[in-house]
Chains A and B, each alone.
Chain A
């Protein structure tokens, strides 16, 4: 299926793991879709379920939580 639609995606990244992983992806120049918007939290445990709902309400098409 050819995709013209690009979803807008919200991602929560834990400071010590996934955020560092995302930075490493940058350092290594691994390319990925540009439609992701990242929010840094101290720990993925901080992400409240209501933040997911808030994301969908605010116009994101999907929400990722990276721990």
Chain B
């Protein structure tokens, strides 16, 4: 779940819109307290307009569905479950860093892919719409290209335009 909160943060939605808490069957008061506390926390943040974040939410979703993250997530669950069931402490600091980096990259890639839904675009256009650095876009584009998800569509003047291949 911390991947989701990281993604929500990256998308500018804010990680605290998703909250994870443990409540046992005997902790009715605790449940009520959590709902109160968390509701007022979200209340302070104000309403959330999904239309405003349409592009970014789609990118978050895309990142979550990316094979790389789902793989890593699958491993993560396995580790956390182990820790819960067998009380083993898993030293996963390194793993966490890896996961965080992967999350960020996958989010950015997914964002580029989402932007490209509007038709062929140049690196500069993509950067503008996604809010990413031009340098980052071109680097990520080449990776996505290698994965066979985008392709060079053609040139407008001397500016190369890219097109989305994935559905």
Contact = CB atoms under 8 A, between A and B. Distances in A.
B70 to A, nearest CB: 9
A42 interface: no
Interface residues of A, number: 42
B43 A6 contact: yes
| Main secondary structure on A side of the interface with B | mixed
B113 interface: no
Given A49-B1, A53-B64, A65 B19 contact: yes
A59 B18 CA distance: 14
A67 B20 contact: yes
Contacts of A26: 28
Contacts of B147: none
Contacts of B36: 32-33
A16 to B, nearest CB: 7
18 contacts: A3-B43, A5-B47, A6-B43, A21-B23, A21-B28, A24-B26, A28-B28, A30-B32, A32-B32, A35-B39, A52-B1, A52-B4, A61-B17, A61-B42, A61-B46, A61-B48, A66-B20, A66-B34
Interface of B: 1, 3-4, 7-8, 13, 16-36, 38-48, 50, 53, 57, 60-61, 64-65, 73, 77, 81
